[in-house]
């Protein structure tokens, strides 16, 4: 494949608009002797990098030379347009392809500065048409991206499900060496009883242990130690507050209660509690705590209100109750000790006489990419929630109807990107949870579509 170094005006929706080649005088510009020393981003969450490209510029005549200089300078202006004006739909990208490299890669340019190393009035500019020293200083995003996207479509995911992603056609030849940018995340209704308003996604690989053994759902009914005024029955546990209405432990669940693979549960997780109150005029507060079950003190999260005066109060509903780290200490922890890691639900009733019921905790993986989107109304495939992540890392989301965008979404990412697949037979796993504005239906299902751009730290790499 032919080598290329270009400044390209481009967007995901349109592709190339125009470009200026910086190689082999195709557009009157070529790399100067000694070439261009690429900067490699440091770390997995780096900031922009700065590079200098020493160039030579020539034209057959003075007017041609001026036109080519102005053509290069046009990219200087276009780069600032994309940074200064949020309505600008195109960015300027540095696109590169080394000799014999099968695919080009590109990085978004944030700003361009230029400098002329020679005076136009001295012999170094041969007959006014050769500029021997012309330098572009670029600030660009740290990672290179593929110029064409890959697609993953995951069908029939339960609203509390954990599934492995299907194989993607560009694996393993173009899998990247840092997490891919998920340009477009679409959540479409498959079988929905009440339109979904909230969605949580989280990815997991074998980084912390076998992803297939990860237990994302901790049920309160078949496991755990029950606390004050709490009984099990009907597929869930209930707290009556008959003797203790103040904040007290109601159930504690050890890793040993939910899995035979404690070593595969390591990671950081956003925790969702599925709960409801039993009657009107009842207000309760719950609090998540975690520790080794033998510990004297537990790490406690902020309180979360469950109130019957809210529309969802007497319905099963998912409440974000905090973030946990398993294990709660750094470094190696033996399997026997990990088994004793526990989550505890504490609760109090501040008004009313109703019971508080809960049946499960969901653990949303966040170390390797997670996303919350809220404010949608996903009823079927024509009314999806769609979240976009641009090359600049800016994000926005729409709830859509058949006629187009209908509402803005609340979007909250955590390291959001698609982890690097090991092979077509070892793809990442995805957790998904979704619920309506007033109820969580476990049997609802969605389809999730991911449109991704593979990313790389260096110009060349796997």
Q: Which residues of 261-283 are buried (b: 16+ CB within 10 A; e: fewer)?
A: bbbbbbbbbbbbbbbbbbeeebb
State which of 125-134, 211-220, 304-313 shows the largest mean pLDDT. Answer: 211-220
Residue 440 neighbours by CB distance under 10 Å: 25
Residues 6+ apart with CB under 8 A from 82: 88, 90, 91, 92, 392
- Shared domain for 54 and 186, answered yes or no, is no
Is pTM beyond 0.85? Reply is yes
**Residue 210 lies inside a defined structural domain of this protein:** no
Asked if residue 288 lies in contact with residue 331, where contact means CB atoms within 8 angstroms, the answer is no
pLDDT tens column, 384-427: 999 999 999 999 999 988 778 888 999 999 999 999 876 666 78
Among 365, 381, 414, which residue terminates a domain?
A: 365
Show which of 336, 365, 394 is a domain's final residue. Answer: 365
pLDDT (0 to 100) of residue 402:
79
Residues 422 and 379 in one domain: yes
pLDDT of residue 349: 95
Return d(Cα 439, Cα 314) in angstroms, integer.
9
pLDDT of residue 169: 66
Give the domain extent around 333.
215-365
Any domain includes 32? yes
Does the structure show a pLDDT above 70 at 120? no
Beta-carbon neighbour count of residue 205 at 10 Å?
A: 21
One domain for residues 34 and 80: yes
| Contact of 383 with 259, CB cutoff 8 Å | no
Q: What's residue 251's pLDDT?
A: 93
| Nearest partner of 273 among 297, 228, 239, judged by Cα | 239
Question: What are 52's strand-pairing partners?
Answer: 137
Whether 95 and 63 share a structural domain: yes
What pLDDT is recorded for position 196? 96
Does residue 223 sit in the same domain as residue 354? yes
Q: How many domains does the chain have?
A: 3
Per-residue pLDDT reduced to its tens digit, 206-233: 999 999 999 999 998 766 788 889 888 8
Please check whether residues 226 and 272 belong to one and the same domain.
Answer: yes
Rank 71-75, 115-119, 333-337, 410-414 by mean pLDDT and report only the highest: 410-414
């Amino acid at each position: 494949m032919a080598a290329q170094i270009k400044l390209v005006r481009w967007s995901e929706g349109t592709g190339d608009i125009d470009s200026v080649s910086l190689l082999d005088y195709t557009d009157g510009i070529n790399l100067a002797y000694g070439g261009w020393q690429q900067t490699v981003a440091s770390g997995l969450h780096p900031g922009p990098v700065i590079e200098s490209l020493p160039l030579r510029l020539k034209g057959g005549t003075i007017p041609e030379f001026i036109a080519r200089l102005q053509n290069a300078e046009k990219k200087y202006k276009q780069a600032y347009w994309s940074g200064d004006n949020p309505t600008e739909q195109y960015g300027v990208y540095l696109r590169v392809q080394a000799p014999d490299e099968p695919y080009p890669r590109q990085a978004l340019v944030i700003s361009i500065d230029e400098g002329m190393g020679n005076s136009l009035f001295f012999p170094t500019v041969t007959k006014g048409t050769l500029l021997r020293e012309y330098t572009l200083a670029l600030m660009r995003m740290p990672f290179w991206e593929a110029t064409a996207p890959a697609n993953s479509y995951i069908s029939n995911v339960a609203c509390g499900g954990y599934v492995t992603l299907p194989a993607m056609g560009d694996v393993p030849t173009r899998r990247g060496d840092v997490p891919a940018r998920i340009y477009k995340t679409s959540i479409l209704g498959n079988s929905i009883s009440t339109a979904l308003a909230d969605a949580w996604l989280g990815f997991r690989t074998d980084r912390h242990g076998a992803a297939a053994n990860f237990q994302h759902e901790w049920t309160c009914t078949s496991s755990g130690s029950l606390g004050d005024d709490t009984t099990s029955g009907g597929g869930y546990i209930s707290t009556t507050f008959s003797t203790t209405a103040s904040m007290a432990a109601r159930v504690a669940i050890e890793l040993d209660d939910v899995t035979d693979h404690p070593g595969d549960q390591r990671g950081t997780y956003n925790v969702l509690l599925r709960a409801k109150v039993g009657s009107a005029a009842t207000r309760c507060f719950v609090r998540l705590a975690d520790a080794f079950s033998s510990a004297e003190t537990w790490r406690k999260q902020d309180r979360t209100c469950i109130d019957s005066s809210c529309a969802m109060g007497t319905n099963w509903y998912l409440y974000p109750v905090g973030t946990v780290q398993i294990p709660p200490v750094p470094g190696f922890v033996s399997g026997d000790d990990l088994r004793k890691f526990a989550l505890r639900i504490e609760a109090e009733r501040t008004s009313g006489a109703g019971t508080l019921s809960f049946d499960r905790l969901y653990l949303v993986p966040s170390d390797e990419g997670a996303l919350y989107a809220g404010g949608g109304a996903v009823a079927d495939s024509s009314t999806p929630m769609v979240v976009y992540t641009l090359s600049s890392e800016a994000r926005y989301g729409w709830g859509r109807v058949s006629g187009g965008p209908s509402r803005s979404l609340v979007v909250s990412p955590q390291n959001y990107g698609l982890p690097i697949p090991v092979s077509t037979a070892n793809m990442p796993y995805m957790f998904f949870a979704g619920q309506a504005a007033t109820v969580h239906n476990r049997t609802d299902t969605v389809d999730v579509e991911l449109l991704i751009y593979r990313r790389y730290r260096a110009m060349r790499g796997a």
